[in-house]
């Protein structure tokens, strides 16, 4: 059974993460929001911190979550790397989302490697900073529409295609690229490949200018006859129409709780700052009185806080399930959907509650409202999460419910 208290063994790591957020992330948050695309050099000394948030020492969500081929030796309740990573991410994003996304060796591609790589690949890519490249100019949330191709030629795969909105696409050591082995066989032929920087045919085309998370680099990548060793294919090279795409999608079951945690951290930061502003303005928030008997500002704040608590608990549940080898696809999507939407709603309402102070650069409230929006979009939009949830609850396939 899930325990809603922070596990004792995670408390020290959570405290470390909060200290890093308070002493490094917060003080530099505005600086790198203004200096878009500049690498935050202050992060170098923190590069090993998030490695410790995962019990496997690999860093990145999913490193000790459910993996293909895992057995169920440990029947007991346990709080492992996923829960620790989620709790750490909440604290770090209380400081700054973009700076967390800029942390070396903590890319979303690391989650893909940790989720589906074999033991040899785990060892070979250990310590690498891996970005993840899925989205293409022709599609957004429909991951099954991947059109980048990978053709086996001797001992190498030849990759061709273009990827957009790749977080850490320029800074990472390697990129996990989704490509299809055979377009005629649909989603079952989609596989993921680790492509290391410097590989001929791999080009960073440009960096995007963005609404939020401006300290994080978001790149457009192009692959033209890019040859990668066949050993860099993650998972099985066989095209199985029943389980082929499921192995690739496994990644999301581990990364979506991580993104949900980011939204929870931003929401908490906004709520804490707004509470301070309201208290200074003489607004009394009383938990012993019904919301409808209090001021409009207090009632709104209580509603936002309730939304935050729901998102927080759903996020912990989805991460805990991954640690305990329980299928968590439904819960991961529920956490991502709730936290993503709540993060946007909470930060925007906090800007309103704080008035002029919330809308200017005098505080970080306006920045948090900009940063929060991407957390409702990447790793599957709000609409996609609701579709996945509906399919799971109704027992419908993707062909039956579109």
* DSSP secondary structure string for all residues of 151-212: EEETTEEEEEEEEEEEETTTTSSEEEEEEES-GGGGGGGEEEEEEETT-TTEEEEEE---SS
**H or E element in which residue 132 lies:** strand 130-133
Q: Rounded to an integer, what distance in angstroms lies between the CA atom of residue 2 and that of residue 316?
A: 9
From the list 194, 212, 62, the residue with the least C-alpha distance to 129 is 194
142 with 380: CB under 8 angstroms? no
| Average pLDDT per block of 10 residues along the chain, 402 residues long | 76 92 96 95 75 44 44 61 90 96 85 87 93 90 85 98 96 96 89 96 97 97 98 89 61 87 98 98 96 97 98 95 91 97 98 97 97 94 94 92 88
Q: Could you tell me the pTM of the whole model? A: 0.90
Q: What is the pLDDT of residue 63?
A: 38
CA angle 112, 263, 253 (to 5 degrees): 30
Q: Rounded to an integer, what distance in angstroms lies between the CA atom of residue 378 and that of residue 305?
A: 24
Q: What is the pLDDT of residue 241?
A: 65
Q: Rounded to an integer, what distance in angstroms lies between the CA atom of residue 255 and that of residue 162?
A: 23
Residue 15 CB coordination number (10 Å): 12
Q: Rounded to an integer, what distance in angstroms lies between the CA atom of residue 147 and that of residue 60?
A: 27
Just list the catalytic residues: 379
Structural domains of the chain ordered from first start: 8-124 (1.10.540), 130-234 (2.40.110.10), 244-394 (1.20.140.10)
Residue 123 CB coordination number (10 Å): 10
Q: What is the pLDDT of residue 379?
A: 87
Residues of the chain by 3-state class (helix, strand, coil), percent to 5: 50, 15, 35
Axis-axis angle for helices 81-95, 244-280 (nearest 10): 40
DSSP 214-256: TTS-EEEEEEEEEEEEGGGEES--S--TTTHHHHHHHHHHHHH
Q: How many residues does the chain have?
A: 402
Residue 16 tokens, joined:
């470390």
């Amino acid at each position: 059974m899930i325990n809603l208290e922070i596990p004792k063994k995670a408390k020290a790591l959570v405290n470390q993460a909060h200290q890093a957020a308070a002493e490094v992330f917060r003080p530099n948050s505005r600086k790198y929001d203004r200096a878009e695309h500049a690498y935050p050099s202050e992060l170098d000394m923190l590069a090993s911190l998030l490695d410790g948030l995962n019990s496997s020492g690999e860093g990145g969500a999913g490193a000790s979550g459910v993996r293909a081929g895992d057995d169920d030796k440990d029947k007991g309740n346990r709080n492992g790397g996923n829960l620790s990573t989620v709790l750490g991410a909440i604290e770090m994003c209380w400081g700054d989302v973009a700076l967390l996304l800029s942390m070396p060796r903590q890319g979303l591609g690391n989650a893909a490697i940790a989720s589906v790589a074999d033991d040899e690949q785990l060892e070979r890519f250990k310590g690498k900073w891996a970005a993840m490249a899925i989205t293409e100019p022709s599609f957004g949330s429909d991951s099954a529409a991947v059109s980048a191709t990978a053709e086996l030629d001797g001992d190498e795969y030849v990759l061709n295609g273009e990827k957009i909105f790749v977080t850490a696409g320029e800074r990472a050591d390697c990129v996990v690229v989704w490509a299809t082995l055979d377009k005629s066989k649909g989603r079952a032929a989609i596989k993921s490949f680790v492509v290391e920087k410097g590989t001929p045919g791999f080009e960073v085309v440009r960096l995007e200018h963005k609404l939020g998370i401006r300290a994080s680099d978001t790149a457009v990548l192009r692959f033209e006859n890019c040859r990668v060793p066949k050993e860099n294919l993650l998972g099985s090279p066989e095209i199985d129409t029943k389980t082929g795409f499921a192995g690739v999608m496994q990644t999301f079951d581990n990364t979506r709780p991580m993104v949900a945690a980011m939204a929870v951290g931003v929401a908490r930061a906004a709520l804490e700052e707004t509470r301070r502003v309201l208290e200074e303005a003489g607004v009394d928030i009383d938990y012993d009185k019904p919301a409808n008997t209090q001021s409009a500002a207090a009632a709104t704040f209580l509603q936002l806080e309730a939304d935050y608590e729901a998102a927080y608990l759903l996020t912990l549940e989805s991460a805990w399930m991954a640690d305990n080898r329980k299928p968590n696809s439904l819960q991961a999507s529920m956490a991502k959907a709730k936290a993503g939407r709540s993060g946007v709603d909470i930060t925007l309402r906090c800007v309103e509650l704080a008035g002029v102070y919330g809308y200017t650069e005098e505080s970080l409230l306006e920045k948090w409202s900009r940063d929060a929006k991407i957390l409702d979009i990447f790793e599957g939009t709000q609409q996609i999460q609701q579709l996945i949830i509906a399919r799971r609850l109704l027992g419908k396939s993707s062909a039956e419910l579109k």
